[in-house]
Structure formats: C-alpha cells, structure tokens
Structure 1
C-alpha cells in the first residue's frame, strides 16, 4: 500500500495535465483513467464529518484544489486512485492487447503521429485567422449592403467570437461521447458550408447569421486540438507539439488581416471567405483521408462492442469506461462553468480581467482599418499591415512568458514553497505594458505622428495582452486542478461575450472622444486593473480558503 501511495502523486498530476489539455475535467476518464478520491479519516475527525467529506468536493481548497506541486499533502490526506488501475486483472475488462498494441495511438509510427499533429495545427491556425481576416474589408461590406450603422461595423467582426462562446460547450461533451474524429469532420464541413454562405450573403442579416455559425463550428479545433496532441505524443515530447499548436490562436487573428487586406484590394471582400473556404475544404478532405480516431476511451469502447458481438459476453467493459450518461457530460460542460463564474470570486475576477483585455483586442481589430485608411491614407491592401504591431508584440509576449514564467515557477518548486499565486508576478509587471501601449497608440494617431509610431504602440498592447492572458490562464489551471477545464470554459464564455459586445460602441466612443482620449479611457481602465494580480499574490490563498465552490 505504501508503494501504491508513493507513485500516486505523479500519476495524479499526469491525469490532471492530460485532462486539462483535452478540455475536460479530470474526473472524466481520459487515456489514463480518471481521478477518484477516497478520503481517509484523521483521528480528530468524527465519522459524521468524514461522511460529509465523501459527499462534497471543494474545488478551491483542500487536497484537490491545491497546486500540482502539493502532491505530498494529497498523499497524506487522501488516497487517489486512477480508475484504470482498478480491476485490470478482471477477465471482463477490455484493454490494449499489449504495451505495443498498434491500436493504441501512443504506439503509432512517428510519421503518422506528427502528420496528425500537423493537420490539427493547420486547422487550428485557419479558424482563428478567419476571425479577423476580413477586417480590412469591413468598409466594402458596409458599402455592399448599403449600411451606415457604426455598431454593425464592429459587430460583423466580433460576432465570430460570440460563436466561440457557445460552440465549444456543445463540442466538448459530444467529443467525449462520440470521439474526436466525428466532431472534427462535422465541424470542418459545417465551418466550410457557413463560410461559403457568408461569401454569397445578399444582406447584412444573412452575413452576420452565417458568420456567427462560422465561429460556433470554427472553435472546434481549439477544443479538440490539445486533446489530440495529448492522445498521440508522450508527456516528455509534448512541449514542441503544444507550442506549434498554440501558435495558431496567437498568430491567426493577427496574420489574418495582413492577408485579408491585400486580398480585399485585389479581389474584393468576398474573396476573404472564398479563400478560407478553399483552405478549410482542403483540410477537411485531408483529415477525412489521413486522420484516424485518437481518443483511447472511444477506441476501447469500440473494441468492447466488437468483442461483445463476437463472444456474446455482455459483461465485458472497457478499462476506460466512465459509465457517465450524456446528461452528466453536458452538466459537467455547462453547469460547472456557470457555477464557477457566479460563485467563485477568483474565477470571476480573473475572467473579468482577461475579458476586458480581450475586448480591447477586438476594439482595435474593428477600428484599425478606419484609422489607417482615413488618417494615414493606407490602401485597403496596405491597411492589413497595421495589424503587424499587435502580432509581433503577442509573439514576443509569448516567448517572454514561457522563459521567465517557467523560471519563476521552477525556482519556487525547488524551494518547496510554490503557490499558484507565484504565476501572477509576471502578469503583474507585464500588465503595465497594456496602458502604455494604449496611451502611445492613441496619442500618436491623434497627433498625426508617423504611422510607424502608432504601430509600435500597438506592439506594446499585444505584448501586454499576452503577458496578462497566459499567466491568468495558467493560474486558473493551478487553482482548480481537477476542474481546470470548467474554469477555462467559464473564462472562455465570459471573454467571448465581452469581445463580441463591447466593441459595438467603439466607433461612437472614438467619434465622441477622439482617438487620443478614447484610447486613454481604455488605458485608464487597464490601469485600474493593474492591482488585481498584486491583490491575488498577497491575498489569493486566503480568498481560496474562504470563498469556495462545492459540487
């Protein structure tokens, strides 16, 4: 028994890490099982209090909500049993034929593995790219549909992100029931269909409707991609694949307008959608021909059904069978995030911080074209280059966070005093770049400074956004551990709603205040947000212990 407990912490961490990458909570079985906890009663506890602990899970304090580095305390307080270690020797348990079973995605050839990763990374780059690609063509869209409504100018860009808020909530539980491959194929086909529909729209209502559903189905690779990589690549080699995959959501929205600007100038705004549809259609065909199912629970479930049919033994069950009904999976994906957002102060404040910053990104996306075509007389093609500062700043922020953020965490883990709040130091200082960039960009435009001055300012904005977004997301994973996916889903829903709705008033704000004071207003709000990371660094652990959510 002592040996069993000794190896549980690393097993537990592996399950949590894999579940987080697969965008579900760790109490839903993954390739290596699920986490079930058996609380051992301490001498000071009564039988009644021990029974209460068995009936409720506290996700912000206690063993389950501790950081990944606190597994020693986990082992002292509870026995963590991965489900797949129970009953392995039972004759009715269906598992892999051997450690080298070719049906197991972990045993695929390197060519097959990395080919699948490449396909997933391409489609994950394409769908975020489509979110902002046609931004330089917004004036042409308004002219085509004879609209002068400033609110629609922003909404036609940001409505795509509104789809990101709702689509993944449905895709995630469906992927647990039917596997990743059917969801990839279905969402890719529907994304292509709605992209074509947007390209041939004849009025503004049709265009916005179809663009919303582009976002709903385009968000699927962001939900499924990390899980696919986790299915295929071992933990030791996963870093490179995850880094390549994560570049899509980072670079896509910034590279899109650069391509879209020149494409709009040469062929018109509709060709932005034809370009995306052609690329998406090609990816759909490649995935249909080359990609196989990678979800281990689904592969074993199919094997179990096949064996039941061949042998007639109805008692057979998969080693990774979770026994969860479709209703339970939807509850995990929808009710838990809502509960976290409304009842967890930490989840709400961090999500609010990120949501405001994300909304700023789409305010800039929806106004850059107007700024650089009217103030600096850029052509519709060259207007896409105005997004370059945001893109380069975001990439720099990603590298800085990866280097210094990981170094800070390693230092505290070596000391043995790591807390999730240590993630926020880099966020606290990186967040200072955001108001600097907003003031810089706003007054450069207002003062008619050279166009490169304003673009350099937006580089600070992109850097500050990435330095805030990435530590905050990692902090939520560390705080909620087993339920990290639900916390991330809550964050995604909130930030997508903000990004879709707040930019609707950006044109009126700039018309009333000008670009100098308009961006200064955004800068002042971001200044007010700066204390939040410092407050969590100092009081976060205390808040986690007092303000909890229980399931």
Structure 2
C-alpha cells in the first residue's frame, strides 16, 4: 500500500491551505494534514509541520504568515517523542480513509456526486411548471412566480454557514445523513403543499439542507483521493453545480407535462431517497480529525489515560468555529475591497442565471408558443454554454497559471485573463437573446444567445472564485463563504422584478438593461490584472 499523501511527512504550507479549502474551512482550523495554527517556528514556509502555534496573518490579502511562535510541547510532538499523541497506526492503517479499497472510495465519491448533481437540479427542475403551480394556488403575482424558483437559492445562503462548522465538530457523515433526510422530507412537503405560503417555506428549507453536498463534497474527495488522482473526482463532482440547474428544467418539462408539477418533486425525493439508503449502508466517516478524536476517546476509556489527545485535535472551541464561519465572511465582504468587488460581480452574474430560469418558460411560451415538455428545451442552450465554458476555463485557465508558476512569477492576477474574455461576451449574449426574442427571429437565435450567456458566465464565475482562493489563501474559505452569501441573496431577490421589467421594457430593452450592467463591470478583470496587486498590498483588513 502506498503511503497516503501528506500524512507521513511534513506537509507544506500550500498543502495545508489546499486541504483546508477543499474541506470548506480556513487553514487555521485543523484538516486531515493539520493546520497553520499549529506550526513550529523552526521550519520554513514551504516545509511547515501541523503541530505548533502560529499567529495567522492579520491581513489575509498579504498572503503570508506574519509571525510564528514556538511551543515546547509542540516541539516534542514534532519530534515524535510524546507517547500521548494519537495518530494512525502506521502508513497502512485501515482506519485511514486514504487506505480504503478502490471500490469503497469511489463508491463514496459517486454517491456524493449524485447528491451534488441532484440538489442544484432541484433548484430549477420545476421551473417549466410554474404556470401550473400559479393556477393551482390561485395566484397571479409575477413576483411570487419568480420567488418560488429563486427562494431555493436563499436557502443556499444560510445553510452552509451552519453546515460547515457543524461538520468540523461532528464529522461529515452525520451532516450528509441528517441534511439528506431533511431535504427529502421538505421535498415531499413541497410536493403536497396546499397553498403558496407552505410551498415557498418548504422550498426554502429544501435549499437550506440541500446545500450540504456542495459544502462537504470537496472535503470528502480530499479525504479519500490522493492529490495525483483528485482531478478526475473533482471534475465529476463539479459537474453537478454547473449543469444540474440547466438539465433540471429539461427533465422537468417532460415530466410535468406527463404527470403534473408535483411529480417534479416526487422524482427528486425518490432519487434522493435511493441515494440516502445507499449512503446509510455504504458511506463511512472520512474526516481524519473526527476519526482520530473518536479513536482517542476510545483509548482514554480503555487505558484510563486522560492525557491522550489526537494529533489533529483542534484548539478551537465550538463558539470559535461558529465565529470564524459567520463573522469572518461578513468582515471580509465589507472590509476588503477585493472581496467586495469580486463578490458583487459574481453575485450579478449568478443572478442573471436565475433571472433566465424564472422567465424562460414565459418567454418561449408567449413568443414561440412552446408548451409542456418542449418548453424545458429552452434551457438547452444555457446548459451547453455552461458545459463548454467549464471545459475552456479549466483547461486554458490552468495552462496560463501553470506557465507562470513554472516561470516563478505567478500572482493571483494571472487567473484573470480567462475572465477578461468572458466579461465582454456576457452583454453580447444578452443583446442577442433579447432582441432576437423581441423580433420573433427563429428560436435557434435566442438559444445561441443564451448559450453565449452560459459560456461567458462560467468564464467569469470560475476564475473569480479561483482568484479569491489565491488572494486570501489562509482565509480563502471565508472569502468564498462571503461570495456565496452575497450571490445567493442577489439570486433569490433580484429576479422578483424580472417579469415586471420585461412587461415594462419588452424583451429587447429589458435584456439590454442586463447587458448594459454587464458592460459596466466588463473592465473589472482588466483593472484587477493591472492594479490588483497594488490594491492587495494596501489592504488593511484585520481578522
């Protein structure tokens, strides 16, 4: 059995940060390879060991630790001389998730990937059935017709803030099981709702608990798969958030036509229920700090030695975990100019997606006479565009970054050239979509327009998120949480006025307005490429 990556040698600073980001928390919270809070001062930055205290940099945008302080007890642990430290029983310990069988590892990855595909799919799957829901609940409010779709994303804003710190305390498995069970319960509740208020509340809780695989999935893959093989697993897992919301309406359109809108929810509940049953029998806890803490508690009880402690034990209280998970993102969002500007831009582009989700059915029904399952095909251009955008962004973006990393001159701003291509294309897509619909051109023209919108959205969204990771390093998870909250709030609330906008301005000028807003932000990646480093060096964010 090969030696698990990063666990039986000193992990580098970059490995600790990478692992923490994938697990969805900052690098001063213990991960499977330790944390930057626990590093000896006698090791250089690129050879840091996860067991001594560290004063994390006060300004996360500076990108390096401000000071290190040594600790005698920690030094003893680094030397491996403390018999009270509990760790794996050698490199082949079967309790270590990196030593699980290939079938067990990839079986877990498949289940998590299905859940990660299913919950974004559920966000938009019933969109073609909005007119039926409005009719059944005797409502004519355009605002409610939009909100019943986007309220799901409002749950995405709040769920992760609770799920992430809870997983650090209790492990991933109980969060997967608990959130999946509650997701199924609220999905069925939405399906049997008898009025609009019930339906909207249940949709909100679907989003709140449905966000668990998005929060926990990256960490689970990092727990199980070595760095050399992780790219494939991450590609499979990332397809869920990318194409799930676009595939959902296509499936939902035909299902709703055949069985009615309630079956869109029954379908999701059935698939989620099957995954839940598989997860109960096949999934095990993968978080190394939690596994080792349980092992430590068992050995304390067996030996009576209360001095035993896990090598990956956290010195953070539950209160601190919640504080870091909730307070830090808010501070970074409002006090860091980079985090604020990037998060607002991401929020606007993400909002565009849900404006389209909430209006596509009406647009193609009114302008092209599409009904039933055919209406769901209107989302096809958007989905294909997003898929191509993800492929281009992943390949070309990584090539550009790798080139500069090899040259030794890499800065976070080297993530932005791809974004600089996507930003100007976004308004073009809206102009093409809006005016082709306004003048009733062949349906393929607006489909191509929305495909260009989806393509450019991914070229903006993915580099922006990677840029936040590279800028904030140690506190990258907090920066991404700030972005998640802002974009989810925008996506839930802004589309409420979309129908009124189109009614007042028409599809041509209405979508042109969205395009003009995108034009205002189009220079942003160019400005950050030129001035981003200067802004970062002048930052005064204190966490």
TM-score, normalising length: structure 2 = 0.93
Mapped pair 1:288 → 2:280: yes
Counterpart residue number, 1:490? 482
Counterpart residue number, 2:534? 542
Counterpart residue number, 1:188? 180
Counterpart residue number, 2:394? 402
Mapped pair 1:392 → 2:393: no
Counterpart residue number, 1:44? none
SS of the aligned residue for 2:228 comes to helix
Asked if 2 retains the 8 angstrom alpha-carbon contact of 1:21 and 1:230, the reply is: yes
Tell me how large the CA RMSD over aligned residues is.
Answer: 2.2
1:103: how far off? 0.3
Mapped pair 1:414 → 2:406: yes
Counterpart residue number, 2:493? 501
Measured in 1, the distance between the counterparts of 2:76 and 2:152 equals 40
Asked if 2 retains the 8 angstrom alpha-carbon contact of 1:57 and 1:550, the reply is: yes
Deviations along 1:116-145, one digit per CA (max 9) or x if unpaired, are 101100110000000000000000000000
Asked if 2 retains the 8 angstrom alpha-carbon contact of 1:59 and 1:548, the reply is: no
Measured in 2, the distance between the counterparts of 1:90 and 1:323 equals 18
| Equivalences for residues 35-74 of structure 1 within 5 A | 35-36=36-37, 57-61=58-62, 63-64=64-65
Asked if 1 retains the 8 angstrom alpha-carbon contact of 2:40 and 2:74, the reply is: no
Mapped pair 1:229 → 2:221: yes
1:55: how far off? 8.3
SS of the aligned residue for 1:35 comes to coil
Q: 1:85 to 1:504 in 2, by over 3 A?
A: farther
Mapped pair 1:30 → 2:31: yes
Measured in 1, the distance between the counterparts of 2:11 and 2:307 equals 32
Name which of 156, 163, 166 aligns with 1:171.
163
SS of the aligned residue for 1:355 comes to helix
Asked if 2 retains the 8 angstrom alpha-carbon contact of 1:35 and 1:83, the reply is: no
1:431: how far off? 1.4
Measured in 1, the distance between the counterparts of 2:96 and 2:450 equals 46
Asked if 2 retains the 8 angstrom alpha-carbon contact of 1:34 and 1:83, the reply is: no
1:58: how far off? 1.6
1:76: how far off? 12
1:415: how far off? 1.7
SS of the aligned residue for 1:543 comes to helix
Asked if 2 retains the 8 angstrom alpha-carbon contact of 1:35 and 1:82, the reply is: no
Counterpart residue number, 2:45? none
Q: Which runs of 5+ in 2 are unaligned?
A: 1-7, 43-53
Runs of 4+ in 1 over 6 A off after TM superposition: 7-10, 37-41, 74-79, 81-85
Counterpart residue number, 1:245? 237
Deviations along 1:475-529, one digit per CA (max 9) or x if unpaired, are 0000000100000000000000000000000000000000000000000000000
Q: 1:55 to 1:434 in 2, by over 3 A?
A: closer
| Equivalences for residues 68-147 of structure 1 within 5 A | 86=78, 88-147=80-139
Q: 1:373 to 1:36 in 2, by over 3 A?
A: same
Mapped pair 1:360 → 2:352: yes
Measured in 1, the distance between the counterparts of 2:315 and 2:301 equals 20
1:10: how far off? 6.3
Counterpart residue number, 2:419? 427
Measured in 1, the distance between the counterparts of 2:70 and 2:412 equals 21
| Equivalences for residues 311-326 of structure 1 within 5 A | 311-326=303-318
1:548: how far off? 2.8
Counterpart residue number, 2:51? none
Q: Which runs of 5+ in 1 are unaligned?
A: 1-6, 42-52, 65-73
Q: 1:297 to 1:433 in 2, by over 3 A?
A: same
Deviations along 1:73-129, one digit per CA (max 9) or x if unpaired, are x999999x9999636331100111111000000000111101110110011000000
Asked if 2 retains the 8 angstrom alpha-carbon contact of 1:353 and 1:529, the reply is: yes
Measured in 2, the distance between the counterparts of 1:31 and 1:476 equals 22
Q: 1:83 to 1:246 in 2, by over 3 A?
A: farther
TM-score, normalising length: structure 1 = 0.92
Asked if 1 retains the 8 angstrom alpha-carbon contact of 2:105 and 2:224, the reply is: yes
| Equivalences for residues 190-339 of structure 1 within 5 A | 190-339=182-331
Counterpart residue number, 1:45? none
Name which of 122, 142, 154 aligns with 1:162.
154
Mapped pair 1:375 → 2:376: no
1:54: how far off? 5.1
